[in-house]
Amino acid sequence: MGIYTISHQKVETEVHKIIQYLAATANSFLPKKKDDSHINLKSLTGCGCITTRPLNQNNDVLAFSYSSFSIEWWVGDTAKIKFPLQGKSHSEVLNWIGLRAIESGISLPLKYEMHYQLPYKTITDNYVYHLENIPRLKQIMHYRLMAHLALEDALQEFKPHSEIRVWPHHFDIASLYTFNKRKRHSIGLGMALPDDNYSNFYLYVKGYAGELAVNVNNISELKNGYWNTTFNGAVLELSDKSTIKEGYQFFKEATHKLKAGGRV
């Protein structure tokens, strides 16, 4: 059985893979929704955890804990059953989740199936998790907690808005602010993974009129972050020095300017 060392690849990619256990569990046990909201996840700032929606009448959830690098089955409000991922294989993780579900009275089968494409090879049964780069994992947790808290602060001024959720497909944390239902005007605020354009996590604000992205070419400059005319939105790249206040100011300023000056 080969051990895949997480330090050999970006830790965020490995956490993205782990989050798919939560998505697959929700997809297996919860009623399907067209917008995929049944599989989006809750970010808890108090414990540095991500959880599914309640999976049964007892409000059990499946969680991932950054701090302990473990998958956890939370039995309502009474107990947390932990499964440390260090040295565990893909098949062992799935078997453990399946057993916890049966013990919790869930009769549906667990299916590790996603209807979306993921940016890495299919995980095999003998894929083993072995974490070495702990500082990077802590850094990722810091970014996610900071983004969530900055979103919470900013969204107090922008209503109505959707829940702040983690979407397992792209692993972004986001909310949607709707300000003109008749014209279907909305603004998405969130934080995204590093990608081909950005080497680290980044906050974003992007406007829509229905399915069309709002043009940002003629909007005045931001004090925090900048307008990316290719992305058609505002971007603030994160670093170890980034703060909740900085994120809040970015979300607030960019949303106000986009709402006032954006054009389709």
- Structure tokens that stand for 157 in this block: 């001024």
Question: What local confidence, expressed as pLDDT, does residue 228 receive?
Answer: 93
Cβ atoms 225, 235 nearer than 8 A: yes
Q: Residue 244: exposed, middle, or buried by beta-carbon count in 10 A (0-12, 13-18, 19+)?
A: middle
Q: What is the Cβ-side half-sphere exposure of residue 130, based on CA atoms within 13 angstroms?
A: 11
In this structure, the answer to whether residues 154 and 81 fall within a common structural domain is: no
Same domain assignment for residues 202 and 233: yes
Same domain assignment for residues 115 and 143? no
Say whether pLDDT at 138 is over 60.
yes
Task: Give this prediction's pTM.
Answer: 0.89
pLDDT digits (tens, 9 = 90+) for 155-183: 999 999 999 999 999 889 999 999 877 77
Helix or strand run (H / E) with residue 42: strand 42-44
Q: Which two tokens stand for residue 63?
A: 């969680």
| Residue from 191, 160, 193 nearest 176 by CA | 160
Q: How many domains does the chain have?
A: 2
Q: Are residues 201 and 89 in the same domain?
A: no
- Position 246 pLDDT exceeds 50: yes
User: Where is the domain boundary, 112, 132, 152?
Assistant: 132
Write the CB contacts of 42 (distance below 8 Å, at least 6 apart in sequence).
50, 51, 52, 53, 61, 163, 165, 166
Q: Provide the residue range defining the domain that includes 28.
A: 3-132
Tokens of 37: 């909201």
Q: In this predicted model, which residue has the larger pLDDT, 53 or 264? A: 53
Residue 226 scores a pLDDT above 50 = yes
Q: At what angle do helices 244-261 and 134-155 cross, to 10 degrees?
A: 50
